[in-house]
Structure 1
């Protein structure tokens, strides 16, 4: 079974920030994929190339989001700590919407995950 860590990156519009993140992930031997709006309805399992997952047959007619988002797969806790420390040490603004792939979320589309993470983020930061 392939347990190489992987990362999906969404909507990173700052080229320097994206370059730094990709360079870090590459040095850590993390397979990285930039996900674009036309792919937002595919199941995350398909985007991570997990056997048995297929692309969505729906066309994306406006189910988009512009927030930065990161989805990680097969990261150990030490790898996760290192990734978060990399952001702090390099003064890279934190990405509010990030998640680890789970048996449940692998069936979700990027839009579904984005909406759930946005709801959770809003609830956690209410004053």
Structure 2
């Protein structure tokens, strides 16, 4: 018996169908949409003990997501590569867990999107810091060099801080870009 793999899409039905065709030999692929966002993950995976939610609470999200059965890291990488090679990658992925099987699809989509945004903003700030590190502070006016060093250290500290939030990354990114972005080579 093949394991179930869920693909949530709100608008890219053709892409989801292509993915289904590619993966149907390996998985029982189910394409789900906005009408299922009120259902629990356990119900969508057709796990025993989960029943349909009949409330009219559908939500729409502007991204696609794949929800995988329990798999090894290597299997996830191979699956991602297989889809990427066909130009069909889905950035947001989650795996069925004991914890999230009780969540609604909407709750899981929201959580994964927040995590995705967090890491995207964190990476943007990290890449900007790397680019700015190529600037020699000695090439800046003295006052600007002091500000430059302080802002870089502060931004780096935000990257290292476990409790940083998306707004922290965005604020430091914007400040660095505003004050020193013009020094970067295009």
Give the TM-score category using the shorter length: 0.7 to 0.9
- Give the CA deviation at 1:31: 0.6
Task: Work out which of the two has the higher radius of gyration on C-alpha atoms and give 1 or 2.
Answer: 2
Q: Which of the pair is proportionally richer in strand? A: 1
Mapped partners of 2:36, 2:16: distance in 1: 19
Q: Please say if residues 5 and 74 of structure 1, whose CA atoms lie closer than 8 Å, have aligned partners that are also in contact.
A: no
- Alpha-carbon displacement from aligned partner over 1:1-23 (angstroms, at most 9, x marks no partner): x7x321111115151x3333112
Q: Please say if residues 5 and 75 of structure 1, whose CA atoms lie closer than 8 Å, have aligned partners that are also in contact.
A: no
User: Which residue in the other structure is 1:118 paired with?
Assistant: 113
Q: Counterpart of 2:94 in 1: which secondary structure?
A: strand
TM-score, L = length of structure 1: 0.83
Matched, 1:43 2:44: no
Q: Counterpart of 2:24 in 1: which secondary structure?
A: helix
Matched, 1:80 2:76: yes
- Structure 2: runs of 5 or more not aligned: 126-186
User: Which residue in the other structure is 1:70 paired with?
Assistant: 66
TM-score, L = length of structure 2: 0.59
Against the structure 1 CA distance between its residues 76 and 5, is the aligned structure 2 distance closer, same or farther, given a 3 Å change threshold? farther
Where relative contact order (Cα < 8 A, 6+ residues apart) is larger, the structure is 1
Task: Trace 1:19-38 onto structure 2 (pairs within 5 A).
Answer: 19-28=17-26, 30-38=27-35
Q: Please say if residues 68 and 95 of structure 2, whose CA atoms lie closer than 8 Å, have aligned partners that are also in contact.
A: yes
Against the structure 1 CA distance between its residues 20 and 57, is the aligned structure 2 distance closer, same or farther, given a 3 Å change threshold? closer
Q: Which of the pair is proportionally richer in helix? A: 2
Q: Please say if residues 97 and 117 of structure 1, whose CA atoms lie closer than 8 Å, have aligned partners that are also in contact.
A: yes
Q: Please say if residues 41 and 110 of structure 1, whose CA atoms lie closer than 8 Å, have aligned partners that are also in contact.
A: yes
Q: Counterpart of 1:125 in 2: which secondary structure?
A: helix
RMSD: 1.9
Matched, 1:10 2:11: no
Matched, 1:56 2:82: no
